[in-house]
Amino acid sequence: MKTLVVVSHPEINNSQTQQFLLQGAKLQDVIWHHVEGLSEIDVDKEQKLLMSADRIIFQFPLYWYAAPSGLKNWEDKVLTRNFIYGDDNENLGDKEFGIVVSTGMPLKDFQRGGTENITIDEIMAPYHAIADRAKMKILPTFKIPQFQYMDESKQMQLLIDYQRYLTQAYPDSLSNRQAWFEQEFADRIKNFDDTDCTHCDAILNTFAQRREDITQLKSTINLIKQGEDE
């Protein structure tokens, strides 16, 4: 699966959040695409880039309840009506669409009665309307509130969650999470020296065993449920 991350930030080099995410996005089959960094917007090239991806992510800090103007400028140029839905085109149909948004305010502010008095989903509605029009599948929005206040352990958790958001199969079910962690772990230990991780294979085996245990437990639960239905 190929993921395209369309990033918008007017001063990306000064953004701790975006620099942190950039490190996380250095994965196989993930393209980091910074719109304000483009010397010019080549519509044809951008459209081909979108079509080459299976999952398209818009990533930005929240400025006045929307993305920075750079993303809107890119949208207004690249997303021609014909490309999105004209003549029954479905250039982006069945691709997945997600949003990664960072906020300076805590999430509790984004609700009715909260300081912002509007939800994140309401704020994202215009982007989701584009995705709907293009017949894309919408992923839940990935929210990064107040990155600057996160301690190192929270940042590490964020990094993994972010990487899963970019590359893990949808939906975010237990079995998809298990498969993702197992694959990632297996891929990463390949690069280790033997001395780096003597127990790696043992961990991987235990992981696989646990996954099988859970699968068996699920089967048992299903049998019990079937019994109740009869």
Residues pairing with 144 in the sheet: 102
C-alpha span between 230 and 223 (Å, rounded): 11
Judged by CB under 8 A, the residue of 38, 41, 51, 118 near its own copies is 118
Helical ranges in the chain per DSSP H: 16-24, 43-52, 69-78, 81-84, 120-133, 152-167, 174-189, 200-229
- Residue 143 in the binding site for its own copies (CB under 8 A): no
- Residue 149 in the binding site for its own copies (CB under 8 A): no
Structure tokens at 95: 């691709």
Residues 4-23 touching its own copies, rule: CB under 8 A, are: 10
- Residue 224 in the binding site for its own copies (CB under 8 A): no
Q: How far is the CB of 63 from its own copies (least distance, A)?
A: 5
Of 48-56, 118-126, 165-173, 199-207, the segment contacting its own copies by CB under 8 A is: 118-126
- Residue 93 in the binding site for its own copies (CB under 8 A): no
Judged by CB under 8 A, the residue of 29, 54, 76, 90 near its own copies is 76
CB nearer its own copies, residue 132 or residue 161: 132
Q: At residue 12, what are phi and psi to the nearest 5 degrees?
A: -65, -30
CB nearer its own copies, residue 73 or residue 178: 73
DSSP 140-198: PPEEEE-GGG--HHHHHHHHHHHHHHHHSPSS--HHHHHHHHHHHHHHHHTTS-TTT-T
Of 47-55, 73-81, 90-98, 173-181, the segment contacting its own copies by CB under 8 A is: 73-81
- Residue 126 in the binding site for its own copies (CB under 8 A): yes
CB nearer its own copies, residue 70 or residue 98: 70
Burial label for 113, CB within 10 Å (0-12, 13-18, 19+), is exposed
Report how many residues bind its own copies under the rule CB under 8 A: 26
Nearest Cα neighbor of 57 from 32, 38, 75, 40 is 32
Quickly count: other Cβ atoms within 10 Å of residue 210's Cβ: 12
Of 112-120, 149-157, 189-197, 201-209, the segment contacting its own copies by CB under 8 A is: 112-120
Residues that bind its own copies in the complex, under the rule CB under 8 A: 10, 63-70, 72-73, 75-76, 79, 116-118, 122-123, 125-127, 129-130, 132-133
